[in-house]
């Protein structure tokens, strides 16, 4: 079969097979991908690595069909179908994507996309923006909400021991002290989180959700190339699936974008219809462990590629492998302590701007009353709500839900930021009580700004989760706010100046 595969791969890469179009061949340890014109063809290798089995044609065809079906949901129009290669007396023939016969070697046919639109390339070029990453978080949440449930937690309960045993064998490359520390920390965390893990359900996830497997397709972030060959890698907690993407961003120095992704994912998971609040916020104690595992796997894979090599000649690769392991250790040992921060003020005072600046610094969970309210109505964040959505009883429910999510996230060890007006003394007192109940520090900021500045800011807003306009500000200026015991900060200055005042206060 190896000889046939080599011949088929050469045939597929031959420009003559594609009407003379220039071709490019990409070889991996599992497949050969050929791009020509506006198409790409993926031919699986007849290999069996234990964790991946493509040994038989039936198996390769089944996995190819799963690839097309599963990725078609997250990247509509990218996958064109299953083609094939068949032997002819004069050589080989490439069949179009139209249910090839059983004797054909299966070939996945895709539309070609620009490599520059892969998110790893965009990250390297500095083209990943907070807005794009929020859209990515929502796209991943859509994928997870639609994913079929699976029993149990898959492979995760036994994960730490198996993976760390393999890392120990690579200690000569990764460093004995670092490997020993990671092994001890990850196993201790696995034991501490075992009971929580048992309460979390698994579902059929992507399994390989890093930046290179997301593409800007037709103007939208599209996860693709999910794992199709081993259910143990995909029947997992959605948080573990998301953790790969978060870790990849952290590794590339984009922790602030990881914060954007997580919060957009969590907000969308928790939104109606079919809100999954506990999926989003109820397992956060597991997230450092999940990210550490993802980074540890990357360290292992990178180290395996260096085995038997002259390390002096692969200094960059060695540094990256060790950086992954250091990142994994950091997840387990350097997380900021849980605390609750609340930001209040009239519309236009800059609450959300400050909240997101703080979140980027602390990797915090941001809970926005505007988002929760729109989630109750199952509308997009830039869609205006009817007036009844702002009735007092609705606002009471919104604030109660925000505090419930905060309590859930604080229990998982997160830094949590409440982004809401908090007009009433009772609302401000209730926020502080959440922190007291969780046994964590609380800090409330109240942003003051001149009326003309408030009005100018809301008038200049683009598409936003807040529906407040100038009329709302004028009404709020007449509110009886009661006694404000939170730290008051003038928000008339630049966002940077406001943030520095907040950071200085939090550092005390």
pLDDT digits (tens, 9 = 90+) for 395-446: 999 999 999 999 999 999 999 999 999 999 999 999 999 999 999 999 999 9
Query: How much is the pLDDT for 211?
Result: 98
The pTM is what? 0.94
Query: How much is the pLDDT for 154?
Result: 44
Helix (H) or strand (E) holding 127: none
Query: How much is the pLDDT for 460?
Result: 83
Helix (H) or strand (E) holding 121: helix 119-124
Query: How much is the pLDDT for 150?
Result: 85
- What one-character DSSP code corresponds to residue 439? T
User: Exposure pattern of 185-215 as b/e (b: 16+ CB <10 Å)?
Assistant: bbeebbeebeebbeebebbbbbbbbbbebbb
CB 352 within 8 A of CB 251: no
DSSP string computed for 248-308: HHHHTT-HHHHHHHHHHHHHHHTSSSS--HHHHHTTGGGHHHHHHHHHHHHHHHHHHHHTT
CB 272 within 8 A of CB 378: yes
Q: For each successive 10 residues of the chain (508 residues), what is the average pLDDT?
A: 86 96 95 96 95 95 96 96 92 91 95 96 97 97 94 55 81 96 92 87 94 97 96 91 98 98 97 91 95 94 92 94 97 95 96 96 96 91 89 95 98 97 96 98 97 90 80 91 96 94 92
- Number of Cβ within 10 Å of residue 322's Cβ equals 17
Structure tokens at 41: 């063809």
CB 78 within 8 A of CB 71: yes
Contacts of 421 (CB under 8 A, 6+ apart): 344, 345, 346, 347, 351, 369, 476
Beta-strand relationship, 31-36 and 23-27 = antiparallel
Q: What is the CA radius of gyration of the chain?
A: 26
Distance CA 347, CA 495 (A): 15
| Domain architecture of the chain: domains with CATH | 2-112 (3.30.200), 119-333 (3.90.1200.10), 339-506 (3.40.50.300)
Query: How much is the pLDDT for 1?
Result: 60
Query: How much is the pLDDT for 157?
Result: 44
């Amino acid at each position: 079969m190896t000889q046939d595969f080599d011949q088929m791969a050469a045939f597929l890469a031959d420009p003559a097979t594609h009407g003379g179009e220039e071709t490019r061949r990409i070889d991996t340890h599992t497949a050969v991908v050929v791009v020509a014109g506006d198409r790409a063809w993926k031919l699986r290798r007849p290999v069996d690595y234990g964790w991946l089995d493509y040994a038989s044609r039936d198996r390769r065809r089944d996995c190819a069909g799963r690839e097309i079906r599963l990725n078609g949901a997250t990247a509509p129009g990218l996958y064109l179908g299953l083609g094939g290669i068949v032997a002819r007396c004069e050589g080989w023939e490439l069949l179009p994507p139209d249910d090839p016969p059983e004797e054909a070697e299966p070939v996945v046919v895709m539309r070609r996309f620009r490599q520059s639109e892969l998110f790893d390339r965009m990250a390297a070029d500095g083209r990943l923006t907070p807005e794009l990453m929020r859209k990515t978080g929502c796209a991943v949440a859509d994928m997870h909400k639609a994913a079929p449930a699976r029993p149990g937690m898959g492979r995760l309960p036994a994960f730490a021991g198996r993976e760390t045993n393999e890392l120990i064998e690579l200690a000569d490359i990764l460093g004995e002290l670092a490997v020993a520390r990671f092994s001890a920390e990850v196993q201790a965390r696995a034991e501490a989180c075992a009971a929580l893990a048992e309460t979390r359900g698994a579902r059929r996830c992507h399994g390989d959700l890093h930046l290179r497997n997301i593409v800007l397709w037709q103007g939208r972030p599209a996860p693709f190339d999910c794992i199709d060959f081993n259910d143990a890698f995909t029947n997992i907690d959605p948080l573990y699936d998301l953790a790969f993407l978060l870790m990849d961003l952290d590794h590339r120095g984009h922790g602030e974008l990881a914060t954007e992704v997580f919060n957009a994912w969590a907000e969308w998971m928790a939104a109606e219809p079919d809100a999954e609040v506990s999926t989003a916020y109820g397992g956060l104690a597991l997230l450092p462990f999940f990210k550490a595992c993802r980074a540890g796997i990357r360290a292992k894979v990178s180290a395996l590629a260096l085995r038997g090599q002259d390390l002096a000649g692969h200094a960059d690769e060695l540094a990256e492998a060790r950086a992954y392991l250091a990142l994994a250790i950091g997840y387990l040992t350097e997380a900021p302590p849980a605390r609750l921060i609340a930001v209040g003020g009239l519309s236009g005072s800059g609450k959300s701007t400050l909240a997101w600046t703080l979140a980027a610094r602390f990797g915090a969970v941001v809970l926005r009353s505007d988002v929760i309210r729109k989630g109750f109505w199952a509308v997009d964040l830039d869609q205006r709500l009817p007036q009844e959505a702002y009735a007092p009883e609705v606002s009471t429910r919104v604030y109660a839900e925000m505090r419930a999510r905060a309590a859930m996230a604080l229990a998982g060890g997160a830094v949590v930021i409440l982004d809401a007006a908090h007009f009433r003394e009772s609302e401000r007192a209730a926020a502080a009580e959440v922190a007291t109940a969780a046994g964590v520090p609380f800090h409330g900021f109240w942003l003051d700004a001149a009326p003309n500045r408030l009005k100018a800011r809301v008038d200049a807003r683009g598409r936003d989760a807040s529906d407040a306009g100038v009329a709302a500000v004028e009404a709020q200026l007449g509110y009886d706010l009661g006694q404000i015991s939170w730290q008051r900060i003038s928000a008339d200055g630049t966002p940077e100046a406001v943030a520095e005042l907040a950071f200085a206060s939090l550092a005390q």
